[in-house]
Amino acid sequence: MVDDAQVRATFLGTSTVYLNDGVSGVLIDGFLSRPSLLRVAFGRVAPDPKRVTHALSKAGIRRLDALLVAHSHYDHAMDAPEIVRRLGGVMYGSSSTLNIGRGAGLGEASMAIIGDGDVVTAGAFTVRVFEGEHSPGNRFPGTIEQPLVPPAKVGDYRDGGCYSFHVTHPSGSLLIHPSANFVPGKFDDLDVDALYLGVGALGAQSEQFQDEYWRHVVDATQPSLIVPVHWDNFFRSLDRALRPLPSFMDKFDRTREWLDRQSAATGIPVRFQQPFEIISPLA
């Protein structure tokens, strides 16, 4: 049973996570179109209105107060303006993300720039922004200086700065950390109940990197629950079962072993959330 006063979290692949407490709704990223690898590699990408509609309705997301974009790569930011246009609320992101909003025709009143240390409130939710580093191997660094009109090349979606989101609510707190990298000391004074931990391409990193990642993100925040995010093959539609990233992009088996090992050593449960499954991460 899901208690009505509790924060409910729905995972929708990549680092797309919907939080709601029955009154207010907060969405991270909102990447639902998930174009195929062929299109990403050789063509141009644009929001897929049918897939966006289908995923929102399947997830039961009918209204929104805030949509926070972690960075402006297409697999985080591309669909955000489309979602805000349909559901309302404000899209928060870097200046690059706002240029994605402008290119999609989103009005200035529906978007706002955020940066390190900024605080956004949405009903009983308070979200603090932490700027960090993109995971190693950032293929499209830099900023988006002009309104970006889709369809566009994936490489036009430059990262524009990477954010993590510390969400507090009267029932507890969680950190959503989409990109598998760290800034030493950044989370040292932060204790959370749940951690949505980005593990994308972590399996391709050295053991030393993985262990430092755990130290600076997990040890620093002392969560009671870890939900891994950004591990799935986002070239597949959300209509199909999630699968790990293909092996030329990541070594997911290594990530899984690492998570199992760390979980056993620390006693912190690691729970892979299924897409569209609703959990109460603060309960």
Query: Binding residues for Zn ion, per CB under 5 A?
Result: 73
Phi, psi dihedrals of residue 125, rounded to the nearest 5°? -90, 135
For the chain, the straight-line distance linking the first and the last C-alpha, in angstroms and rounded, comes to 11
Provide the 10 A C-beta neighbour count for residue 113. 12
Q: CB of residue 77 vs Zn ion: minimum separation in angstroms?
A: 9
**Judged by CB, which is closer to Zn ion: 44, or 139?**
139
Residue nearest to Zn ion (CB): 73
Please state the closest distance from residue 250 (CB atom) to Zn ion, in A.
Answer: 13
* Residue placing its CB nearer to Zn ion in the complex, 73 or 169: 73
Name beta bridge partners: 68. 28, 92
Query: Which of 89, 174, 84 has its CA nearest to residue 126?
Result: 174
The nearest distance, CB 67 to Zn ion, in angstroms, is 17
Q: How far is the CB of 239 from Zn ion (least distance, A)?
A: 23
Minimum distance of Zn ion from residue 223's CB (angstroms): 23
CA-CA distance, 80 to 82, in Å (whole number)?
A: 5
Q: Which is nearer to Zn ion, 73 or 177 (CB)?
A: 73
Which lies closer to Zn ion via its Cβ, residue 128 or residue 158?
Answer: 158
What's the min distance (Å) between Cβ of 278 and Zn ion?
Answer: 26
CB of 31 to Zn ion, least distance (A): 11
Find the shortest distance in angstroms from Cβ 84 to Zn ion: 20
86: amino acid identity, one letter: R
